[in-house]
Amino acid sequence: MVRTRIAPSPTGADVHVGSVATALMNYAWAKKNKGQFVIRIEDTDRTRIVEGGEAQMLSTLKRIGLIADESPEVGGPYAPYRQSERLNIYKKYAEELVVKGKAYYCICTQERLAKMRSEQQAKKQVPKYDRLCLAHQKEIISKIKSEGVRHVIRLLIPEGQIKFNDAVRGEIIIDAKNIDDQVILKSDGFPTYHLGVVVDDHLMKITHIIRGEEWLPSTPKHVILYQAFGWDLPTFVHISLLRNPDKSKLSKRKNPVWTSYYLDQGILPEALLNYLALMGWSHPEGKDIFSLDEYIKVFDIKDIQTSSPIFDPVKLEWMNGMYIRKYPVLSIKYKVLEFYKDKKLDEKLVEKTIPLIQDRIKKLSDYLTLCEFFFKTPKKYEVDLSNKKEFFEKVYSELEKVTDWKALVIGESLINLAKKLEIKNSQFFMDIRLVITGKKISPPLNESMEILGKEECLKRLTRIQFFCIFSV
């Protein structure tokens, strides 16, 4: 049985797009193998917790469709799925390691540790705990029992090499002498990441740990823990971090990193997942566009690439545009209505306008940028039209005569007028476009005018006489 997980820490306002890429692989691998995908919240580093971060993360993951089989919200056979609710479990396992001689109590004060570290640094040694407490375990244990003295539990790092296999990077060998005796249980009773993650992945029967490469330096410590407990290792897969187009690490300074930012722009969840699926993996047939179901079918851990994938929001938008184009009008209508639900747009009107812009928009938020004039008379024009009053009067008289208000007929009558007035088509239509839509760029003009209706168009043509704010 394949069981995968993501184990986010609620230390940010939302889910990072890189974490969604990781979550997607975990999700796909579980689904492909008819297994389970678990979400576990790792909230043991209390100082870094961002208020509301967990709820936001869980809601964003649902919004993009990565639905967990087990999580703090839906529960499951290994609940609780929030580490802060599992403290007694970590304590028990940490103490078990002490009994086995694989870990020890440490009562060194912060002052002593700081002094030790600066002395080591002065001697150009790697700062490492000097194991003072290891030699006095009996006294320390009785001190803890009788006086309740503050203590931590440290992992006793064994000598020799630590070997493990990464499913994409191959065998990794580390010399344990460079590893400090890690604190695994803090004095406040919270585990550190290493203990929490190993205990939970074991108890929750996780078979594959697919996570970002930033966790690779932690894995040898985890391997030591697995061995200390006598547990089998899961399959480790460390995937490369996303980079900006200039190859720098994806960070808030260059591009937005929070997933909701993209969804709030009207990037479709399925397009975002499709794009992220291509981060460090390619479709065996070289396809760019594929569904989540297809991805699940063809994805294989062994095909994950180790080169750093580039997350380019411009390409993401391009892909989103491809998705928007391939959907039927009705489906885009509902997506637009849902996206702008606060604005309560007229459903019929949205439906009529979609065919005009479906090929042009790249994200749902482009819709009103192009189409707002259908719902609201423009309040300002991108070009000053104040000296065009007479011209618009002529257009008015011409259009007033049109009885069959259809794009083709409107177009013909306007072309005739342009000829008669000897105005170049480009200038002629630009001015009409501006007065009708407010903008220099709009959906096709004749079709837009047909949708707006004769009365509204005539009104907009006369409006210029008393309303002439313009903006550039």
As annotated, the binding site for ATP includes: 252
**Is 215 or 375 the residue whose CB approaches ligand GLU more closely?**
215
Q: By CB under 6 A, is residue 7 in contact with ligand GLU? A: yes
Q: Give the N- to C-terminal CA distance of the chain in Å, as an integer.
A: 62
CB of 42 to ligand GLU, least distance (A): 4
- Whether omega for the bond prior to residue 80 falls within 30 degrees of 0, making it cis, is yes
Q: By CB under 6 A, is residue 164 in contact with ligand GLU? A: no
Count CA atoms within 13 Å of residue 191 on its CB side.
25
Q: By CB under 6 A, is residue 86 in contact with ligand GLU? A: no
* Cα–Cα distance for residue pair 430/447, rounded to 1 Å: 15
Q: By CB under 6 A, is residue 211 in contact with ligand GLU? A: yes
Query: Which one of the spans 2-10, 90-98, 132-140, 377-385 is the region binding ligand GLU (CB under 6 A)?
Result: 2-10
Cβ proximity of 184 and 129 under 8 Å: no
Q: Mark 37-56 with x for binding to ligand GLU (rule: CB under 6 A) and - for no binding.
A: -----x--------------
Q: By CB under 6 A, is residue 197 in contact with ligand GLU? A: yes
**Is 94 or 197 the residue whose CB approaches ligand GLU more closely?**
197
**Is 7 or 103 the residue whose CB approaches ligand GLU more closely?**
7
CB of 44 to ligand GLU, least distance (A): 9
**Is 31 or 211 the residue whose CB approaches ligand GLU more closely?**
211
CB of 50 to ligand GLU, least distance (A): 12
* Cα–Cα distance for residue pair 406/452, rounded to 1 Å: 11
Q: By CB under 6 A, is residue 9 in contact with ligand GLU? A: yes
**Is 26 or 255 the residue whose CB approaches ligand GLU more closely?**
26
Q: By CB under 6 A, is residue 26 in contact with ligand GLU? A: no
Considering 163, 252, 297, 326, which one is annotated as catalytic? 252
Complete edge-to-edge strand list for the sheet that includes strand 183-185: 103-106, 152-155, 183-185
**Is 9 or 60 the residue whose CB approaches ligand GLU more closely?**
9
Annotation marks residue 315 as catalytic: no
Q: By CB under 6 A, is residue 8 in contact with ligand GLU? A: yes
**Is 211 or 460 the residue whose CB approaches ligand GLU more closely?**
211
Q: By CB under 6 A, is residue 215 in contact with ligand GLU? A: yes
Query: Which one of the spans 5-13, 155-163, 239-247, 287-295 is the region binding ligand GLU (CB under 6 A)?
Result: 5-13
Q: Tokens at residue 278, please?
A: 């291509």
CB of 317 to ligand GLU, least distance (A): 27
CB of 8 to ligand GLU, least distance (A): 5
Bridge partners of residue 175, in order along the sequence: 161
Query: Which one of the spans 4-12, 58-66, 124-132, 461-469 is the region binding ligand GLU (CB under 6 A)?
Result: 4-12
Q: By CB under 6 A, is residue 192 in contact with ligand GLU? A: no
CB of 197 to ligand GLU, least distance (A): 5
Question: How many chain residues bind ligand GLU (CB under 6 A)?
Answer: 7
CB of 455 to ligand GLU, least distance (A): 59
User: Any idea which residues carry the catalytic annotation?
Assistant: 252
**Residues lying near ligand GLU in the complex (CB under 6 A):** 7-9, 42, 197, 211, 215
